[in-house]
Chain A
């Protein structure tokens, strides 16, 4: 029984919960607990109530589960709940600037709507991002986390952040550019001595959107 349930998709399990099998919510919790925690820990850098926020995400998902349309992706839906929860936390704490209105999503952009090739130098890029994420503005940090750490596609990120797919591309590009600038200013030269070729390749590949 448990094995057959594990084979079911998120959306199939949600449909069963909506029909009254609320105990199956455990499965969704198991599947997403680590992902949402990781997302929270990377996005909310020095917050002491991260665990409470993660719990709140699952409680809100449970409360609102009957509003979920099973023809859509559950992962985007729960990440959207998490995004709202975390953004509210950032606004409440006022630790970082978070504009109410963003010009990025107002006008069409020329940046490619296609995903960057993540396979290239993924490990190096991950370690680079981990080190410098805290220096980024939340609006650039979040799509980078969702793309590189949560492995969501541009389309899925667009659904989570409620912004156009092209804007996701713009933010990822600007986030990487921002990290590149930071590297050039600070420890890039030190890093370059240790691993010059890989590091440069990673940045170049990812800037060629």
Chain B
């Protein structure tokens, strides 16, 4: 080690003169305190904006799951799960994950984040934005926004909400049972007023083991053939689920078939 230091001495003095000379000659100037305050402020604004955007997108994700009834599909077993996965808004989830990654990069500069395994801070961000997004979904915020969109007060977001918020998954119907027939079929009235005939098959799956009565609000998964829905799964929507999954938008608001 000693010999190494001796060998380095001439070079070290040259380094010193060059670096220190640049400083002393005024060629290099230190940044002011204000520069760092503004930099930190800019960083904080960026982090807050990304956080708000993440919460909004998670809230939108919950909105789509609830409004479309997607979240109830896995109760119909493997077939329901298949429809759930094929209709899940994956792009929205991908954008949320990109935003979470950005947030992680931003908070990684703090010792509270980098001194712990990355998975902890990623999970903390995910839990936090999911919790806030869920609470917003439960509040009247979305209903208020949707009403504004419906009235055309928010023209830019109209397309966006139509794209993500209004669509029902394919082959899924919601409605009130209005008449039960003797031939293992019944009629439902959809939320937009359309009457549909539903046919119960031997393979129809009932996750709740219930008897369908007139007046029940139900969800039917099945293909429509010749105007009749051939039910692959039927389940009742109880009051609690209805609260989480309110009836969809008015017919005028639905995207064209």
Interface residues of A (CB under 8 A from B): 22, 25-26, 29, 33-34, 37-38, 51, 54-55, 58-59, 62-67, 105-109, 158-159, 162-167
Nearest B-chain residue to A23, judged by Cβ? B24
The answer to whether A22 touches B30 (Cβ under 8 A) is: yes
Q: What residues of B have a CB within 8 angstroms of the CB of A108 in the complex?
A: 117, 119-120
The answer to whether B115 touches A22 (Cβ under 8 A) is: no
Distance of A125 Cα from B151 Cα, bound (Å):
76
Given A25-B20, A25-B23, A66-B36, verify A106-B118 contact (CB < 8 Å): yes
Distance of A162 Cα from B18 Cα, bound (Å):
30
Nearest A-chain residue to B122, judged by Cβ? A106
Given A59-B23, A63-B29, A65-B30, verify A29-B114 contact (CB < 8 Å): no
The answer to whether A55 touches B23 (Cβ under 8 A) is: no
The answer to whether A67 touches B12 (Cβ under 8 A) is: no
Offer 7 A-B interface pairs, CB within 8 angstroms, sorted by A: A22-B30, A25-B23, A29-B19, A54-B15, A55-B18, A106-B117, A159-B111
Report the interface size class on chain B: 20 to 34
The answer to whether B12 touches A62 (Cβ under 8 A) is: no
Shortest CB-to-CB span from A60 to chain B, Å, is 9
Q: What residues of B have a CB within 8 angstroms of the CB of A66 in the complex?
A: 30-33, 35-36
17 extra interface residue pairs, beta carbon distance < 8 Å, beyond A34-B8, A55-B18, A62-B23: A25-B20, A29-B19, A33-B16, A51-B14, A59-B28, A62-B28, A64-B31, A66-B36, A106-B117, A107-B118, A107-B119, A158-B115, A159-B111, A163-B114, A164-B117, A166-B117, A167-B117
Q: What residues of A have a CB within 8 angstroms of the CB of B144 in the complex?
A: none
Nearest A-chain residue to B22, judged by Cβ? A59
The answer to whether B114 touches A51 (Cβ under 8 A) is: no
Interface residues of B (CB under 8 A from A): 4-5, 8, 11-12, 14-16, 18-20, 22-23, 28-33, 35-36, 108-109, 111, 114-120
Which of A51, A63, A105, A166 contacts B11, CB < 8 Å? A51
Contact residues of B: prevailing secondary structure: helix
Distance of A122 Cα from B171 Cα, bound (Å):
72
Distance of A197 Cα from B20 Cα, bound (Å):
48
Nearest A-chain residue to B33, judged by Cβ? A66
Shortest CB-to-CB span from B11 to chain A, Å, is 6
Distance of A167 Cα from B116 Cα, bound (Å):
9
Q: For B22, B30, B36, B108, which residue has the most chain A Cβ atoms within 10 angstroms? A: B30
The answer to whether A33 touches B28 (Cβ under 8 A) is: no
Nearest B-chain residue to A55, judged by Cβ? B19
Distance of A159 Cα from B116 Cα, bound (Å):
12
The 6 closest A-B pairs by CB, nearest first: A55-B19, A162-B114, A67-B36, A108-B117, A106-B118, A58-B19
Given A29-B16, A51-B11, A108-B117, verify A162-B109 contact (CB < 8 Å): yes
Q: What residues of B have a CB within 8 angstroms of the CB of A64 in the complex?
A: 30-31, 36
Q: What residues of A have a CB within 8 angstroms of the CB of B23 in the complex?
A: 22, 25, 59, 62
The answer to whether A62 touches B30 (Cβ under 8 A) is: yes
